[in-house]
Amino acid sequence: MRQWIVAGNWKMHNTVAESIALAKAIKEGAAGLQGGTVVLAPPFTALASVHQVIQGSPVCLAAQNMYPEDKGAFTGEVSPLMLKDVGCSYVIIGHSERRKYFLEQDTDVNRKVKKATACELIAVMCVGETDEERDRGITQDIVGRQVQTGLSGMENLENVVIAYEPVWAIGTGKVATPAQAQEVHGFIRGLLRRLYGGPAAEQTRIIYGGSVTRDNIGDLIAMEDIDGALVGGASLKADQFLGIIEKTSSAK
Ligand code: PGA
């Protein structure tokens, strides 16, 4: 069976002190939970401090991005080896904000996913359509292309989590309905089945992101192909985030 996963993407929020306080509250609140994984993705500046807090606990550390080289003259970038050095076991790749503001293409996402997994980081690869693409009825074309190109050349999915995050649902308060989300999750799993075979597709975790709260997670997580959540805004408040984790773990 697939294990659930709930990841908090803190984006460009929280000082080191704020990050430490939030990580402590989440670590304490999530202690004893079983059958799944809680992941925190603070900004780069707080990774080492949050690692100190969660070390020895089941909570895992993620970065929000990386550059797909070990080291070199790439001013302003951070390598997967550096992320591992500060305690990361996960990295978010291809978030829609990276695609939109920093012009990341599917081919960049692919390079990063390949490099991250080669370095034994678990890549949380984000995909999702815009509202205009949904209105035009091309959601599956867009998401299919993002998944296929993003995974191009990957021999297996062992260190890959896919996050379906419709762009129109991110930070807007406009969450996808459980049926809308399930439809795309089911489509992605079907695509993985064709590309990697049944057992790999069944084992790969596909999580939903976009305006998830503790009030709407229950109906989403009840869907067959939704294995957890990637949470932005609601991950910045310990009680909200813990509520999402509790509902996920009791449903799965
Ligand atoms: P949101 O962000 O929960 O604030 O909508 C989700 C994300 O960007 O991963």
For 76-127, the pLDDT digits (tens) are: 999 999 999 999 999 999 999 999 999 999 999 999 999 999 999 999 999 9
Residue 230 CA, closest ligand 1 atom number: 9
Question: Alpha helix (H) ranges present in the chain?
Answer: 16-30, 47-54, 80-85, 96-101, 106-118, 131-135, 139-150, 178-196, 198-203, 217-221, 238-251
Q: Please tell me the distance from the alpha carbon of residue 85 to that of residue 42, in angstroms, as a whole number.
A: 15
In total, the chain counts a number of residues equal to 252
Q: What burial letters (b/e) apply to 96-122, b meaning 16+ CB within 10 Å?
A: bbbbeeeebebebbbbbbbbbbebebb
Q: Which residue has the tokens 């799993």?
A: 189
Comparing CA positions, the residue from 219, 218, 217 lying closest to residue 179 is 219
Chain mean position to CA 149 = 18
pTM for the whole structure: 0.98
pLDDT computed for residue 252 by the predictor: 85
| d(CA 18, ligand 1 centre) in Å | 19
| d(CA 197, ligand 1 centre) in Å | 30
Give ligand 1 pocket residues (Cβ under 6 A): 9, 165, 170-171, 209-212, 230-234
Pocket test for ligand 1, best of 65, 97, 165 (most atoms within 8 A of CB): 165
pLDDT computed for residue 19 by the predictor: 98
The DSSP letter of residue 108 is H
pLDDT computed for residue 57 by the predictor: 94
Q: 165 catalytic, yes or no? A: yes
The 10s digit of each residue's pLDDT in 212-231 is 999 999 999 999 999 999 99
Pick the residue whose CA is nearest to atom 1 on ligand 1.
Answer: 232
The C-alpha angle with vertex 247 and arms to 244 and 249, in degrees rounded to 5, equals 105
| d(CA 73, ligand 1 centre) in Å | 32
Q: 104 catalytic, yes or no? A: no
pLDDT computed for residue 232 by the predictor: 98
pLDDT computed for residue 32 by the predictor: 84
Single-letter amino acid, residue 39: V
pLDDT computed for residue 248 by the predictor: 97
**Catalytic residue among 97, 104, 129, 165, which?**
165
Pick the residue whose CA is nearest to atom 3 on ligand 1.
Answer: 232
Pick the residue whose CA is nearest to atom 6 on ligand 1.
Answer: 232
Q: Which residues of the chain have pLDDT under 50?
A: none
Pick the residue whose CA is nearest to atom 2 on ligand 1.
Answer: 232
